[in-house]
Amino acid sequence: MPLAEGEFKLTYSSNGVHPGAAFTFGTVRTGYYLLDDFEVKDTDANVGDTPLPRGDGVRYGQDFTTGATITFEVGVDTVDAGSTLLDRHGANLDAVSVMKQAWDAKAVRDRVATPAVLSTTQGGRARRWYGRPRQWTKAASKLTRQGYTPVVATFATAHTGSFDDIEQWVRVDMAPPPHRGIVGPLKEPLTMVGEGSVRVPGEIIVGGNRPAWPVITINGPISQPVCELVGRWKLGLDLTLKAGEKVTVDPRPWVRTVLRGSGSVAGLITRSSPLLEYLLIPTGRQDFLLRGIDATATAFMTVAWRDAYAYL
């Protein structure tokens, strides 16, 4: 169910001991409303500049950024929770504890390379960030006993910008072997398909205003599979997948894995393939191909992505 305008939702799963969370806040309806607009602040870039030897000036290198910090000023309001001061005070302590528990995020902090998800709807746009809850501070207030407590909380993202909350995906079957000419016998009437009237298998349209990260899953049976983004890059794997087996390539910065089942096969990426950090899909129309050896012609892959944005 999509969030209402202006709402936020922090979600992560349980680790079996510590509970997960699905904490919604941001509007009066939730009881946790924003006292001011949320702030998104990118971290300072880690610049690779070096001074020129024996001369004025600087040589610019590669610059990197470690993500953004989102800050919220939240009013926890239970003024209408009871008719007595004691009822309102108790309800407010409970509500503050709920937010503190969600922001503690012990279940996700115990797992390496596992982010929480922060979703929102702003201007009718459903967006999300990947990261972890960080600081949580209850501001000093004499109103807690009346049923109101202000809180300041931050969320550290694993990236800059945001992603569409809706994931898109396409199935790509094995590319046919290359051939030339027309193979007979032909039957009348012969017809030509007009350009643009048929969607090409593997064709995707990437929106947003930044390149998107694909999550590629190749399903066997196939040997020496190659995922190709036409005109951009080719990713090959020196392995064989049986029927029912699959390998998932996830180049997103907070994941960066190549898994067959639960085991890593990153060492089987072919030498001619690009590094995972370069497996980006530019915006606009793009085409994916799956190649390899498959006598059954039943192998296929799925490519999933979320449109990416510099802000929202």
65 or 175, greater pLDDT: 65
Mean confidence (pLDDT) of the chain: 91
In this predicted structure, what is the pLDDT of residue 194? 42
Which range (180-184, 197-201, 286-290) has the least confidence? 197-201
Of 85-89, 183-187, 190-194, 212-216, which one has max mean pLDDT? Answer: 212-216
**In the chain, pLDDT over 90 holds for what percent of residues?**
77
Q: 116 with 105: CB under 8 angstroms?
A: yes
> Above 80 in pLDDT, residue 201?
no
Q: What is the DSSP annotation of 185-243?
A: ---SSP--PPTTSSPPTTEEEE-BSB-B--EEEEESSEEEEEEEETTTEEEEB--EE-T
Which range (187-191, 232-236, 276-280, 292-296) has the least confidence? 187-191
pLDDT band at 195 (very low <50, low <70, confident <90, very high): very low
d(CA 173, CA 202): 8
pLDDT, tens digit (0-9, with 9 covering 90-100), for 63-91? 888 899 999 999 999 999 988 999 999 99
> What average pLDDT does range 246-270 have in this prediction?
96
In this predicted structure, what is the pLDDT of residue 140? 85
Cis peptide before 221 (omega within 30 of 0): yes
Residue type, 99: M
pLDDT, tens digit (0-9, with 9 covering 90-100), for 101-144? 999 999 999 898 899 999 999 999 999 999 999 999 999 888 99
> Above 80 in pLDDT, residue 310?
yes
pLDDT band at 175 (very low <50, low <70, confident <90, very high): confident
In this predicted structure, what is the pLDDT of residue 49? 86
Q: 74 with 153: CB under 8 angstroms?
A: yes
d(CA 33, CA 197): 49
Rounded to 5°, the CA angle 161-127-228 comes to 70
190 or 133, greater pLDDT: 133
pLDDT, tens digit (0-9, with 9 covering 90-100), for 12-53? 999 999 999 999 999 999 999 999 999 999 987 788 888 888
In this predicted structure, what is the pLDDT of residue 269? 98
Nearest residue to 222 via CA among 295, 124, 148: 295
> What average pLDDT does range 303-310 have in this prediction?
98
